[in-house]
Amino acid sequence: MQELVHKYMIEPNPFIQFGADHIIGSIIFVILWIWLPLYSKENLSKNSQNRLGIILGFIVMSNYLVWVILEIISGTFDFKLHLPFHLCRFANLAIPIVMIWKKERLFQVLYFWGMSGMLQGAITPDVTHGFPHFHYFRFFIGHNGMVLVLIYAIVVLGFRPSFKGLLDSFIALNLFLILAAVINLILDSNYFWICAKPPTNSLLDYLGPWPWYILIAEFVALLHYFLAFLPFYILNNKKR
């Protein structure tokens, strides 16, 4: 079994950025972002809405856990590569807490993380395999699926991003940056792309050389945060 899983995990099936796999997968998720929350809000009972939200949260979390299990089975698990010290993985593990226990403060943190890092990742995926490989689904569920859960939490469950949440999320982002940096020092790893840029094309390619791209990325993240908060700021002002 180990040999079969190992062969599957490393078999060549290259992902082409902005190719058919990328565009079709993105279109499907954009439709889901709009349709699923609206359908749930209009057609499901409160209990069913909550259950569906929890299921979505666990799908996103399980997506990362299944990947780790497959890497362990194949004998390729590496503490330098597969721990949850990239932002998206940590967020994937945390999102069920929001959906089960309705933790407002954690939602605020994950919303701004998701609408900056995860959404940016969905546009420029850091994925090595195309459809229908597991890595393809793993990436789309971990990023686009995370955005879906956050939209669901807003439309169906009534969460609302706030300016205080924006500030809390930015502080949490930098605390996570420090944590990832410490882990990198201990393991000689490159979590959160602190020590080098990702091997695939990404926004970081346009932010200058190391270490300056880290500093510039802070300002880019803050810009994303304000853009993610802007629709709610406008809506709040209209209600006054």
Classify the phi-psi angles of 125: left when phi > 0, otherwise alpha if psi is within -120 to 50, otherwise beta.
beta
**% of residues, the chain, pLDDT over 70:** 99
pLDDT at 121 over 90: no
Calculate ∠ Cα 206-107-233, nearest 5°.
70
How far apart, in whole angstroms, are the C-alpha atoms of residue 67 and residue 169? Answer: 27
Res. 239: pLDDT tops 80: no
State residue 29's pLDDT score.
97
Give this prediction's pTM.
Answer: 0.95
CA distances from 19 to 23, 32, 139, 145, 206 (A): 6, 20, 15, 20, 21
| Other beta carbons within 10 Å of 144 | 22
In tens, the pLDDT along 136-179 reads 999 999 999 999 999 999 999 999 999 999 999 999 999 999 99
At 240, the pLDDT band (50, 70, 90 cuts) reads low
Mean pLDDT in residue range 109-124: 87
Q: Has residue 119 got a pLDDT over 80? A: no
* pLDDT-derived band at 99, boundaries 50, 70, 90: very high
pLDDT at 125: 83
pLDDT in tens, 177-213: 999 999 999 999 999 999 999 988 888 999 999 999 9
Mean confidence (pLDDT) of the chain: 95
Domain ranges of the chain: 2-239
pLDDT at 17: 85
Which residues are paired to 14 by β-bridges?
Answer: 129
